[in-house]
Amino acid sequence: GVTAAIVTCGGLCPGLNNVIRELTNTLIHLYGCKKVLGIRGGYAGFYTDAWQPMELTPEIVNNIHHEGGTFLGSSRGGFEIDKTIAFLKKHKINQLYVIGGDGTHRGAFRIHEECMKLKMNVGVCGIPKTIDNDVDHIDRSFGFSSAVQAAQSAIRTAKTEASCNLPNGIGIVKLMGRSAGFVAVHAAMSSGDVDLCLVPEIPIVLEGEKGCLPFLKKRVKEQGFAVVVVAEGAGEELLGESTEVDASGNKKLPAIGEFLKSKINEYFSKHDPQGATVKYVDPSYIIRSCPANAADSLYCMQLAQNAVHGLMAGYTGFSVGLCNNRMVLLPIPYLVETSPRHMDAHGRTWERVLSITRQPNTAK
């Protein structure tokens, strides 16, 4: 019989528990899998004595999808190939399901290569996870839709604050997105309440003819207030690159939200005797630690089922995802080669923005 292991790595994302639950159910109910082990706390769980793996059963995972986060715990970095291989041997694992972003997938492929080299019978499958939606080739990553949905109340809050706090109210919402602005743009556009959206893909111009500060002043004059959404990775060109890194090797992001707030205050006090009333909202962890919405729950279920089907059919070193609305298996090197992806700043999303802001045709 098959002994499987499941590990969740990196930052939280809505739907992690749905994936764990469905992997467990499919492995045990559909394929009669002997044992499913949950690895605690990401890759470090393969060798951290205090975090012993836990056996997963359909009963144990039955209600976990109602909660955000991951039942198994997670961590960044901590990848140790030799210790991981030793764990797989010791526990006689022959299927490994790795849920994580592009860095985690690189680790998963390294495990796959090592198992092949050592002629170990271990199938390795990745399941792409990031609220940033920046894993390339797939239509969307699970959790993205829930995060965009959860961001709506923060935008609504910013609008209420901006429109009620006189004079010249401005609300700023900072959303996650280290190198891509998908969450910011999708949340801003679906809200219908945002006047300015700043993303890492487009450099921020503060002043001058196309500057966002004079633009905000114009919007405030027109409607009495303005709402801004900014992705956390935007404006690196203004703030400079940080040299500090986290456990995944990601550079620490400068505080773009606070920076914008001070620039807006400065600009308004210079150009308007009443100044501005700026309120800053940061819902970062709220939007990624919530439970999955219905669309993501369904997607997580399909991803998990197809991951199991793939390994049971004998494939290995692959990841799963929707591509052009079809569930496919993708070779991990192909998936990570161009990840993280960026938003096409001049593509279809922006055409839609232009079409809604274009003046109505009055020439009839």
Known catalytic residues are 132
Measured from the CB atom, the residue of 56 and 135 that comes closer to ligand F6P is: 135
Q: What share of the chain is helix, strand, coil (3-state, %, to 5)?
A: 45, 15, 40
Find the part of the chain contacting ligand F6P (CB under 6 A) among 37-45, 92-100, 171-179, 234-242.
Answer: 171-179
| Range list of H helices, the chain | 16-25, 58-61, 81-90, 102-117, 144-164, 182-191, 212-223, 236-239, 256-271, 284-288, 294-312, 332-337, 348-357
Instruction: Determine which residue in the list 18, 25, 130, 133 makes contact with ligand F6P, applying CB under 6 A.
Output: 130
* Spatial CA neighbour of 105 closest among 113, 253, 24: 113
> Near ligand F6P by CB under 6 A, which window of 112-120, 173-181, 190-198, 303-311?
173-181
Question: How many whole angstroms separate alpha carbon 56 and alpha carbon 25?
Answer: 9
Structure tokens at 170: 């401005």
123, containing H or E segment:
strand 123-128
* Chain position carrying tokens 């100044």: 275
Q: Does 176 bind ligand F6P (CB under 6 A)?
A: yes
Q: Which stretch binds ligand F6P (CB under 6 A): 163-171, 175-183, 197-205, 262-270?
A: 175-183
**Residue 199 Cβ, how far from ligand F6P at the closest point, in Å?**
12
Q: Which amino acid, 118?
A: L
**Minimum distance from residue 131 beta carbon to ligand F6P (Å):** 5
Binding region for ligand F6P (CB under 6 A) out of 26-34, 83-91, 126-134, 161-169: 126-134
Taking CB under 6 A as the binding criterion, the range among 64-72, 176-184, 254-262, 343-351 that sits at the site for ligand F6P is 176-184
Q: How many residues bind ligand F6P (CB under 6 A)?
A: 11
* 283-312 binders of ligand F6P (CB under 6 A): 288
CB of 257 to ligand F6P, least distance (A): 13
- Comparing CB distances to ligand F6P, the nearer of 45 and 101 is 101
Tell me the C-alpha distance between 49 and 79, whole Å: 15
Please, which of residues 84-103 interact with ligand F6P by CB under 6 A? 101
Closest alpha carbon to 41 in 66, 14, 67, 69: 69
3-state secondary structure of 262: helix
Tell me: does residue 257 bind ligand F6P (CB under 6 A).
no
Query: CB of residue 12 vs ligand F6P: minimum separation in angstroms?
Result: 7
Tell which residue, 50, 35, 37, has the closest CA to residue 6: 37
Smallest gap from Cβ 11 to ligand F6P, in A, equals 4
106 touching ligand F6P, by CB under 6 A: no
User: Cβ closer to ligand F6P: 209 or 244?
Assistant: 244
Q: Name 140's Cβ contacts closer than 8 Å, sequence gap at least 6.
A: 133, 299, 322
Does the footprint of ligand F6P cover residue 131 (CB under 6 A)? yes
Of 38, 41, 77, 177, which one interacts with ligand F6P (CB under 6 A)? 177
Q: For residue 149, what are its two tokens?
A: 């949905």
Give, as ranges, the residues between 8 and 67 that touch ligand F6P (CB under 6 A).
11
**Binders in 231-250 for ligand F6P, by CB under 6 A:** 232, 246
201 binds ligand F6P (CB under 6 A): no
> Quick count: other Cβ atoms within 10 Å of Cβ 273?
7
* Interface residue with ligand F6P, options 22, 95, 100, 132 (CB under 6 A): 132
Nearest CA to 206 out of 280, 273, 268, 278 is that of: 268
Distance separating alpha carbons of residues 303 and 306, to the nearest angstrom: 5
Residues that bind ligand F6P (CB under 6 A): 11, 101, 130-132, 176-178, 232, 246, 288
